[in-house]
Amino acid sequence: MRSGQSRPIVDMTEQKPVTESTAQKVPALPDAQTVTEVKHYTDRLFSFKCTRPASLRFRSGEFVMIGLMGGPDPKTGKQKPLLRAYSIASPSWDEEMEFYSIKVQDGPLTSKLQHIQPGDEVILRPKPVGTLVHDALIPGKRIWFFATGTGFAPFASLLREPQTYQDYDEVIITHTCREAGELTYGRDLIEALKDDELLNEVIGEDFWKKIKYYPTTTREESAKMGRITDLIRSGEAYADLDVEPLNPESDRAMICGNLAFNLELKEMLEEAGLEEGANSKPAQYVVEKAFLD
Ligand SMILES: Cc1cc2nc3c(=O)[nH]c(=O)nc-3n(C[C@H](O)[C@H](O)[C@H](O)COP(=O)(O)OP(=O)(O)OC[C@H]3O[C@@H](n4cnc5c(N)ncnc54)[C@H](O)[C@@H]3O)c2cc1C
Ligand SMILES: NC(=O)c1ccc[n+]([C@@H]2O[C@H](COP(=O)([O-])OP(=O)(O)OC[C@H]3O[C@@H](n4cnc5c(N)ncnc54)[C@H](OP(=O)(O)O)[C@@H]3O)[C@@H](O)[C@H]2O)c1
């Protein structure tokens, strides 16, 4: 669906022909932002960037509602925005917004959203919220980011946020997906961090040495196979990462994955003695669903 057609404003007094350069672009959608870049990773995953509303402030790790205009109501003919929750994958300081998205073939939104192209418009409601924020955690030494699938998105933001490296000595990011191709977005992003100008300048050239990246797959061969939950339970993840087991004194964690994953990890963290935090009551770990089921 192309939604970015501009409606030219014709200046009748001067009778000038409306050309590309004289036409003023009028947004066709409410809260419209313009898509600037789209990248496809697999037949189920893509990312895109769009312009950022001038007044939008958010904390790295938060989510917003984004979407497209839905089809006309069969009775009234009126169109309503079709919106879904999306983690902002870009950091709070970035001048553009980035999102990392699933493509659900019969999904009301993503069956259409997967076809957006630069120049198209998306709706972005400028009301960021969420619990995967540094403010919801009390100080610690080591932070774990636990993700499955598109649950990597909030951590794509937090991994590019200077505060992550100011607050912690060690940053461990685990990403479990079914197939190896589903790790590409995260792997590329972490690889690119080494050359991140802002982080190198603000934190220092060695900041990326704080990061330990632990990607695993469950249904396709890759360097590390298995669910992160099982790998932690067996002690294999600790041995691979060369770290001490989770403990409430030093460890803080953020979880973002499917419901069963979130619940299983929550239980494991509680067993290790960590307490769940919130914006209103910071503690040792926080959780958010990567999608509703
Ligand atoms: C707090 C929050 C943050 C979210 N952030 C993101 C994000 O950053 N990126 C993103 O792609 N989605 C995210 N989602 C999910 C998103 O809101 C939509 O569900 C998704 O875009 C699909 O929309 P849809 O209308 O096509 O299908 P829907 O009707 O919303 O979903 C149809 C079915 O597809 C499956 N599904 C939906 N989303 C996903 C997903 N992300 N991964 C795997 N299976 C899924 C579920 O089984 C769901 O029942 C988030 C959801 C929540 C609650
Ligand atoms: N990914 C695909 O190739 C694919 C293709 C077509 C349709 N779908 C559908 O899309 C939906 C979402 O699929 P998805 O792959 O994006 O997400 P997902 O089902 O949430 O799986 C993502 C990863 O999380 C792991 N996982 C699931 N539950 C876990 C738990 N309790 N503890 C630890 N790890 C856990 C999975 O391992 P396991 O593999 O062991 O479950 C998988 O590696 C599903 O309804 C699926 O049927 C997916």
Q: Indicate whether 47 belongs to any domain.
A: yes
Q: Indicate whether 17 belongs to any domain.
A: no
Same domain (yes/no): 224, 148: yes
Q: Indicate whether 1 belongs to any domain.
A: no
CA of residue 219 to ligand 2 center, whole Å: 9
- Regarding the beta carbon of 108 and ligand 1, being less than 6 Å apart is answered yes
- Regarding the beta carbon of 233 and ligand 2, being less than 6 Å apart is answered no
Q: Whose CA is nearest to atom 26 of ligand 2?
A: 261
- Quote the pLDDT of residue 17: 41
- Quote the pLDDT of residue 28: 64
- Quote the pLDDT of residue 26: 58
Same domain (yes/no): 119, 148: no
Closest CA to 210 of 253, 163, 171, 160: 171
- The range of the structural domain enclosing residue 142 comes to 134-289
Tokens matching residue 100: 């990392």
The total of other beta-carbon atoms located within 10 Å of residue 149's CB is 21
Write the CATH number for 49: 2.40.30.10
Q: For the sheet containing 211-217, what is the strand order?
A: 211-217, 170-177, 142-148, 251-257, 285-289
Q: Indicate whether 120 belongs to any domain.
A: yes
CA of residue 89 to ligand 2 center, whole Å: 20
Same domain (yes/no): 209, 259: yes
- Regarding the beta carbon of 102 and ligand 1, being less than 6 Å apart is answered yes
- Quote the pLDDT of residue 85: 98
Instruction: Note the ligand closest to the C-alpha atom of 45.
Output: 1
78 Rama class: left (phi>0) / alpha (psi -120 to 50) / beta:
beta
Q: Whose CA is nearest to atom 4 of ligand 1?
A: 86
Boundary (domain end) residue, out of 129, 145, 170: 129
- Quote the pLDDT of residue 98: 98
- Regarding the beta carbon of 31 and ligand 1, being less than 6 Å apart is answered no
Boundary (domain end) residue, out of 62, 96, 129: 129
Write the CATH number for 250: 3.40.50.80
Q: Indicate whether 103 belongs to any domain.
A: yes
Token look-up 């979880």 returns 255
Same domain (yes/no): 69, 146: no
Tokens matching residue 271: 């067993």
Residue to mutate (ligand 2; options 106, 227, 230; most atoms within 8 A of CB): 227
Same domain (yes/no): 279, 238: yes
Q: Whole-structure pTM over 0.85, yes or no?
A: yes
- Regarding the beta carbon of 141 and ligand 2, being less than 6 Å apart is answered no
- Quote the pLDDT of residue 30: 74
State which residues of the chain have pLDDT below 50: 1-23
- Regarding the beta carbon of 174 and ligand 2, being less than 6 Å apart is answered no
Q: Indicate whether 81 belongs to any domain.
A: yes
Distance, in Å, from the CA atom of 170 to the CA atom of 161, rounded to the nearest integer, reads: 14
pLDDT of 21-67, one tens digit each? 444 555 666 799 999 999 999 999 999 999 999 999 999 999 999 99
Same domain (yes/no): 151, 283: yes
- Quote the pLDDT of residue 4: 36
Q: Whose CA is nearest to atom 50 of ligand 1?
A: 291
Same domain (yes/no): 145, 100: no
Same domain (yes/no): 224, 172: yes
Same domain (yes/no): 161, 119: no
- Regarding the beta carbon of 100 and ligand 1, being less than 6 Å apart is answered yes
Closest CA to 288 of 128, 97, 181, 56: 128
Distance, in Å, from the CA atom of 158 to the CA atom of 168, rounded to the nearest integer, reads: 12
Boundary (domain end) residue, out of 129, 154, 174: 129
Same domain (yes/no): 220, 254: yes
Same domain (yes/no): 76, 205: no
Same domain (yes/no): 46, 163: no
Domain count, the chain: 2
Q: Indicate whether 87 belongs to any domain.
A: yes
Q: Whose CA is nearest to atom 18 of ligand 1?
A: 84
- Quote the pLDDT of residue 293: 86
Q: Indicate whether 22 belongs to any domain.
A: no
Beta bridge partners of 84: 66
